[in-house]
Structure 1
Amino acid sequence: MSPISTAGVPLTRRDALITASALAANFAFPLGPANAAGPAIPDLSEGEQIMGFVTTKDDVQIFYKDWGPRDARPVVFHHGWPLSSDDWDAQMLFFLSKGYRVVAHDRRGHGRSEQVAEGHDIDHYAADAFAVAEALDLKNAVHIGHSTGGGEVARYVAKFGEPAGRVAKVVLVAAIPPLMLKTADNPEGTPKEVFDGFRTALTSNRAQFFRDVPSGPFYGFNREGATVHEGVIQNWWRQGMMGSAKAHYDGIKAFSETDQTKDLKAITVPTLVLHGEDDQVVPIAAAALKAVKLLSNGTLKTYPGFSHGMLTVNADVLNEDILAFIEN
């Protein structure tokens, strides 16, 4: 299966001139919020730059990126719902510039991976990640997961990564474990009615829903005084609409109802838990504050005022904190 391509919208001569003028003007101003590597231009020329597909045991094609020296330590990224590996651009370029091998894949049904009807659950997510790790022979790796990707990482490490001796460290960023859903045993969780609302919005008008989420709570752009980055919103929408509506619909159950208490307890490698204190999507009380207590070797770092999408809008801060954790 080849990657999805999208045809561009034809531009009139007037549109082209306006666009060119806007681009020229932008060169006079600083880069946007995700200028992860700082003002200096990093040298990214070392090592191979590879993209391709891995076939899972149930015959699903998983798209991956694998950049950097083959003999460098792998840093592996797991994206959130309903996005793709492109959501890690700021981190992949940053860690590539630091000499690491950076790897990321699109979850099944997301991005450029195959849009299959089944297997949209945490078990399959983790097994697919293991298929990539085996195919690329990733060892002594640092696995970093954001949101649903954090749930994927927790299950991967507990079930596959540590037993196979392939994981050295873990970073959970605004991650869903141990459980998002509000229950009698998890009163800090989010009521099921909220997730039912997600399903209704997705089936009614997925394109509008995928516009409303990033322009509102995901990046905290709904907060008074927030600096809104239109390009970030559009990029979120682009990634979401590349994927399968079926995968996204099933994924709501996967990220909201999967109890990963046992996964967290099974992880023994050093684990850094990062969470924004103003996360409106995965509230910190039901996630990071509980997760770190279940980890045998966990460290918690929280960020006042940071949103669920902090890995993008606060990439400069998070990248340095993750780098320090990896290198210590």
Structure 2
Amino acid sequence: MLRATLSALLLWSGSVALASEDIADQYPASLLYSKPVEVIPHVWSAIGATAPPTYDNAGHNNNLSFIVTGDGVVVINGGASYGLAKALHAEIKAITDQPVKLVFNENGQGHAMLGNSYWAEQGVPIVAHVDAAAEFENHGGGDLDAAQRVTKERAESTSVVLPTETFTDEYTVEMGDFRIEARYLGPAHSPGDIVIWLPDQGLVISGDMAFHERMLPIFADTITADWLETWDAEFEPLGATYVIPGHGHPTNMDQVRRYTKGYLEHLRAQIRAHIDAGGDLAGAYYVDQSAYTHLDTFEELATKNAGRVYEQMEWE
């Protein structure tokens, strides 16, 4: 089983061809975009679409993971709706009789937290970083409006429900055969981003710390210099063998390093050269990002990313 799992992981990590934002739904029998797969023994993930949220993918465009510990199940990400969380729970019940005992929200975005409405109804504790909880408290209503507008009746029963517990640096759980460390490593993609580190398995569920099959988005409050510092000081030293990213198939550090750290460094170098040559914001949108055109969401994000990095670096 382990050999088959490792072979599949190597296949995923060696090619980006398996991810396509043009595939509307890979699992028509479920509201989930794809059926959960066992990445390593007892660690599962339902891989979301690498496209933006749509009606067809039901807003499942991030990874919903869970760990079958032997003494209960730990879920990573509440999901983008009540229905998606319920669909994930149905898959968990088909795999194990162990109850879900804990849910982690990997950040404060809607697709990580809107499904809290289902998990809270089940009486399951929900944990997030304090900054992610504040982000969802401030913007969760807007996230819900957007989800209802895009996914329509597929967002039925979804409401804004905050985490029941928060932490600042680390939240560690010893459950069954697993030590599970939820860690806030520092500023990265969005406020309160955390990773779930399984030290005994060498696996990190990285959330939006790391991307590889789709282009990473740079938000107005994403400080790229800080993200790179967090990467070098805290994320890289984990020495993970396996990475389940926030979006896209499970992979390894080489791939996420290339398409996260490598992309951020490339874009910042292009913008620095543009600024040093006297370039303005309008020209910044056209700096060279051709090495990344094969990534999903390139068309939606590349020029926006360049503009936002220009606005940051103009004042660095």
TM over 0.5: no
TM-score if structure 2 supplies the norm length? 0.29
TM-score if structure 1 supplies the norm length? 0.28
Q: Comparing both chains, which one has the higher relative contact order based on Cα–Cα distances under 8 Å and sequence gaps of 6 or more? A: 1
